[in-house]
Amino acid sequence: MMPILDLSQLETMTSGDAELAVEALGIFRQSAEMWSRALDPQAEPRQWADAAHGIKGAARSVGLMALGDACEVAEKLGREGAVTPAQAGVAISAVKDRLGEALEAAAHVEHQLMMKRTFTGVRLD
């Protein structure tokens, strides 16, 4: 099972700069908060597919690959067009579940990075 947040991806993306990583995680949280409002299975599939796409990019950029993968599944489903309410509900629930885990992991890592000011010793558990 892949970790919720891939610290090596975050460290690579920020060139090991803990301050930049904190900023990137903050941007992810803001993006996720904005886009998550559009994750409504009763809405037009295009709307929640666009939201999933927005969250996917933000998530993968900071190493939240499982969330990115769930978003990719929902986005593809929403772009197909003929989606049943049940299919939409399952896909969006998966995104919301992964999003909750991702936000918790991001906050945990963000706190450690702020305290340590380095990636050394930062852990997900």
Specify the CATH number for the domain of residue 76.
1.20.120.160
What range does the domain containing 95 cover? 7-116
User: Residue 1 domain-assigned?
Assistant: no
Binning pLDDT at 50, 70 and 90, where does residue 82 land? confident
User: Residue 121 domain-assigned?
Assistant: no
- pTM score: 0.91
User: Is the pLDDT confidence value at 81 over 80?
Assistant: no
CB neighbour list of residue 125: distance below 8 Å, 6 or more residues apart:
none
Question: Tell me: the pLDDT tens digits for 27-74?
Answer: 999 999 999 999 999 999 999 999 999 999 999 999 999 999 999 999
Q: Report the mean per-residue pLDDT for the chain.
A: 93
* Three-point CA angle 24, 29, 31, nearest 5°: 90
**Higher pLDDT pick, 35 / 82:** 35
| pLDDT (mean) for 81-106 | 94
Q: What is the pLDDT of residue 55?
A: 96
Number of domains present in the structure of the chain = 1
CB neighbour list of residue 11: distance below 8 Å, 6 or more residues apart:
21, 119
User: Residue 124 domain-assigned?
Assistant: no
Q: What is the pLDDT of residue 102?
A: 97
Q: What is the pLDDT of residue 121?
A: 84
Residue 5: CB atoms within 10 Å: 25
Angle subtended by helix axes 65-80 and 85-116, to nearest 10: 150
